């Protein structure tokens, strides 16, 4: 996500300083204060996160909390001190997924795994510290050019497997990192009202339907299975469709996930 945002800022010729985990440990409060105060930014895009959802249940539980909660608290505290607007990326996993309606931004949260719990605590930290100078953007099923993601996994598996089985009873909205980066910059440039937003690409699908679209130009057969056929360590929401009305009301145009996927595949 961070790399995608950097490329967008380059394209827009907007000045920025990008930190990596090698140059800035967000769990180190003193280092965060020193680095951010030296830069004195007007905006902080907080893209850092621990996203190993299954590992967060056991071996990664501590680092999950350190990065997603303590790290976020460190960034929010220094953002407040320097007067910077904070943009924080959260997740659909703050919801339990036990409904059949789209989740609006003020829907009741009830995370079912450690990752979702930590990201929700991160949201609460941002709201508590930043008061009214923040944007929390929840997103879901992220794919993009940089890092590991579902699209790359399906493409890689298709090279050696004539048949793939993919879960068909978890429903959500895929999100291209480029669309997310564009919205992150949009809220700042348009001076959108601060608060909570949802951003994914438009349209709804299952992981099975997502996989079929990814591999539609191959000979690979994609077969549906249920979540019970493919048990995972961390419980995932069964229905985590984020309502996009609040985002659309800002005038931000959201491509469908199928159009976004097509554009992404042309890039890679």
pTM, full prediction:
0.96
- Residue of 115, 134, 208, 239 marked active site: 115
Nearest to 176 by CA among 50, 5, 49: 5
Nearest to 23 by CA among 13, 11, 12, 32: 32
Mean pLDDT for back-to-back runs of 10 residues, the chain (268 residues): 96 95 95 97 97 97 98 98 98 96 98 98 98 97 94 97 97 98 98 98 98 97 96 96 98 98 94
Domain ranges of the chain: 1-148+174-202+242-255
Predicted pLDDT of residue 69: 98
115 has catalytic annotation: yes
pLDDT digits 0-9 by tens, 119-130? 999 999 999 999
Which CATH code, of 3.40.50.970, 3.40.50.300, 3.40.50.720, 1.10.10.10, is assigned to 1-148+174-202+242-255?
Answer: 3.40.50.720
pLDDT digits 0-9 by tens, 204-260? 999 999 999 999 999 999 999 999 999 999 999 999 999 999 999 999 999 999 999
Predicted pLDDT of residue 110: 98
């Amino acid at each position: 996500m961070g790399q995608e945002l950097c490329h967008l800022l380059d394209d827009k010729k907007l000045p920025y300083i990008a930190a990596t985990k090698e140059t800035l440990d967000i769990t180190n409060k003193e280092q965060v204060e020193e680095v951010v105060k030296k830069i004195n930014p007007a905006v902080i895009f907080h893209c850092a996160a621990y996203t190993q959802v299954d590992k967060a249940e056991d071996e990664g539980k501590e680092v999950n909390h350190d990065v997603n909660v303590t790290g976020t608290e460190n960034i929010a505290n220094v953002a407040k001190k320097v007067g910077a607007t904070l943009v924080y990326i959260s997740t659909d996993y703050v919801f339990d997924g036990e409904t059949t309606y789209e989740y609006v931004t003020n829907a009741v949260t009830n995370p079912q795994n450690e990752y979702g719990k930590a990201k929700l605590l991160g949201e609460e930290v941002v709201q508590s510290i930043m008061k009214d100078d923040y944007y929390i953007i929840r997103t879901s099923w992220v794919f993009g050019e940089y890092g590991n993601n579902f699209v790359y996994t399906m493409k890689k598996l298709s090279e050696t497997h004539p048949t793939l089985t993919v879960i068909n009873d978890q429903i959500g909205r895929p999100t291209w990192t480029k669309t997310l980066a564009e919205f992150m910059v949009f809220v700042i440039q348009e001076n959108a009202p601060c608060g909570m937003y949802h951003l994914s690409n438009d349209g709804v699908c299952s992981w099975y339907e997502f996989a079929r679209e990814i591999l539609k130009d191959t000979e690979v057969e994609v077969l549906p299975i249920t979540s019970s056929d493919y048990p995972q360590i961390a419980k995932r929401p069964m229905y985590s469709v984020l309502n996009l009305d609040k985002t659309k009301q800002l005038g931000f145009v959201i491509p469908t996930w199928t159009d976004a996927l097509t554009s992404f595949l042309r890039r890679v």
